[in-house]
Amino acid sequence: MKHAYVFPGQGSQFPGMGKEQYDSSAFAKKLFEQANELLGFRISDILFTGSEEDLRQTKVTQPAVFLHSVIAYKGIEHSKPDMVAGHSLGEFSALVANGVLNFEDALQLVSIRAMAMQKACELQASTMAAVLGLADDVVEAVCARVQEESGETVVPANYNCPGQLVISGSVKGIELACEQLKAAGAKRALVLPVGGAFHSPLMEPAKQELKEAIEGMKFQSPICPVYQNVVAKAVIDRDEIKQNLIQQLTGAVRWTQSVQSMIGDGASRFTEVGPGKVLQGLIAKIDKTVTVEGHS
């Protein structure tokens, strides 16, 4: 029986997150204060007293979810994962858990990533939409057709679980795709309240900025494989981990395929580490036979 630790991404945040950790643990307090210094603003104040709107800023959301997840992971006694994975941003938390990155370096990369994504979002009006109730290949075909016919960008971005795929692209591209997906029988094709087209070619400027930072960072040998979003299989080579992490910003999050690969490689127990229960719900939909739990 293999134990997989998985880490959530953007969207799991909530007002007040981390306050309990900060108040009850000297170690958590130390990491929060380190983060305040490294980020150049008091993220702890925003988390503990800010509104939902404050937490939606990408420059806040991404470090916040990362910070909460890493503190939660460090609080698990005798944690020794057989494998790790993270959903989008969560891949950085996973790389701390398997020893590839230390906390400070990972937080610096997360901050650079968040700021670069924010800038890329401001270059062009773009968004994402959740598509429910269609097979992946149908969604892929509609996206390809819309791109070919309109010249607009629209691509599959997050393969969350069977019957739930998020698409990403220009505002016009997403509108056209949603119309066609509904006509193709989607239960819902719902535009999401996000400020940009994450995991699409429109993130290319952010990818170039992150690439420079990642290539200048020292990655250590992992203690266990990481199942990375863009390849959905076990990776242990440091250089390969770096390249996959760079490609992640413009590539799709293959979460369904990653979980299936982990189960295929022997995972029967999954622990979601960090805020929320999003991944627990997705994993249960991917395979009902595995044990799924949370630790926050």
Residue 82 lies in a domain: yes
CA 200 to chain centroid, in Å, comes to: 14
Tens-place pLDDT, residues 258-270: 999 999 999 999 9
Tens-place pLDDT, residues 30-80: 999 999 999 999 999 999 998 888 888 888 889 999 999 999 999 887 778
Residue 288 lies in a domain: yes
Which pLDDT score, from 0 to 100, does residue 53 have? 83
| Of the listed ranges 116-130, 143-157, 239-253, the one predicted with least confidence | 116-130
213 and 141, same domain (yes or no): no
Does 15 score more than 90 pLDDT? no
**What three-state secondary structure class fits 169?**
strand
Q: How confident is the model at residue 11 (pLDDT cuts 50, 70, 90)?
A: confident
Q: What is the distance between the alpha carbons of residues 152 and 207, in angstroms, rounded to a whole number?
A: 20
Q: What is the distance between the alpha carbons of residues 122 and 124, in angstroms, rounded to a whole number?
A: 6
Task: Kindly state the average pLDDT of the residues 229-247.
Answer: 97
Q: What is the distance between the alpha carbons of residues 144 and 156, in angstroms, rounded to a whole number?
A: 9
Which pLDDT score, from 0 to 100, does residue 265 have? 98
Specify the pTM: 0.95
Does 195 score more than 80 pLDDT? no
Which pLDDT score, from 0 to 100, does residue 141 have? 98
Does 213 score more than 80 pLDDT? yes
116 and 228, same domain (yes or no): yes
**Token code pair at residue 229:** 């979003």
Backbone angles phi, psi at 134, to 5 degrees: -125, 150
- Residue range(s) defining the domain that contains residue 148: 123-191
Catalytic positions, written as ranges:
88, 199
- Per cent of the chain over pLDDT 90 is 84
Task: Kindly state the average pLDDT of the residues 139-151.
Answer: 97
Domain count, the chain: 2
207 and 116, same domain (yes or no): yes
Helix/strand/coil (H, E, C) string of 229-267?
Answer: CCCCCEECCHHHHHHHHHHCCCCCECHHHHHHHHHHCCE
Does 217 score more than 90 pLDDT? yes
The CATH number for 186's domain is 3.30.70.250
176 and 224, same domain (yes or no): no
Question: Over the chain, what is the mean pLDDT?
Answer: 94
Give residues with Cβ within 8 angstroms of 248, minimum separation 6: 88, 91, 199, 228, 229, 230
